[in-house]
Copies of this chain bind each other. A is one copy, B any other.
Amino acid sequence: MSDAEPSTWQAVRDAVLARIHAREWPPGAPIPNEADLAAELGCARATVNRALRALAEEGLIERRRRAGSRVAAHPVRKATFAIPVIRREIEARGATYSHLLLAMARDRAPTAVRARLGLSEDTRMLHVETLHLADGRAHAHEDRWVNLAAVPEIARADLSAISANEWLVANVPFTRGDFTFAAENAGPTLARNLDCTEGAALLVLERTTWNVALPITWMRLSHAPGYRMHTEI
Contacts and interface: CB of A to CB of B under 8 A. Distances in A.
Interface of A: 20-21, 23, 27, 59, 74-85, 88, 169-170, 173, 175-185, 199-204, 211, 223, 225-233
Give the interface SS of chain A, mostly helix, strand, loop or mixed: strand
Given A21-B173, A27-B170, A201-B184, A179 B78 contact: no
A74 B81 contact: no
A229 to B, nearest CB: 4
Stoichiometry, copies per complex: 2
A177 B78 contact: no
A115 to B, nearest CB: 16
A82 to B, nearest CB: 5
A139 to B, nearest CB: 14
Taking each of A79, A177, A202, which has the highest tally of chain B beta carbons within 10 Å of its own beta carbon? A79
Contact of A178 (B203, B225, B232): B232
B180 A229 contact: yes
A232 B182 contact: no
